[in-house]
Amino acid sequence: LGVRARLLIRMARLQEAQATLEHMLFLDQGLADPVIGQIAHHLQVELASCSGHADKAWSHAEKVAHIAAQFASPYYRVWQGTDHGS
């Protein structure tokens, strides 16, 4: 789903991308590993940036950072770094 959302964003099919990302966040509920949610929030940053919504981009970047802070995995920190310009 993440690849689908990214491609939709790149094709400027932003409403479809948003729906896909919302579905990803729905699927993420209750999972012990937050990787689906973190990817969805990361892509929400990209979507918000393409839409000119800096406030939404920042909000989702903060969610990515929060997940990275909770889980001591380098994988999560990489996602965090890409959203904060590291």
Q: What is the pLDDT of residue 14?
A: 96
Angstrom distance (rounded) from CA 15 to CA 36: 20
Tokens of 46: 């990209």
Tokens of 61: 């970047």
Q: What is the pLDDT of residue 83?
A: 56
Tens digit of pLDDT for each residue in 49-69?
A: 999 999 999 999 999 888 888
Tokens of 73: 């995995």
Angstrom distance (rounded) from CA 41 to CA 47: 10
> What average pLDDT values come out for the chain (86 residues) when binned by 10 residues?
96 97 92 88 94 93 88 65 53
Q: What is the pLDDT of residue 81?
A: 55
Shortest CA distance to 84 belongs to which of 51, 61, 67? 61
Q: What is the pLDDT of residue 82?
A: 55
For the chain, the average pLDDT equals 87
5, 24 contact by CB (below 8 A): yes
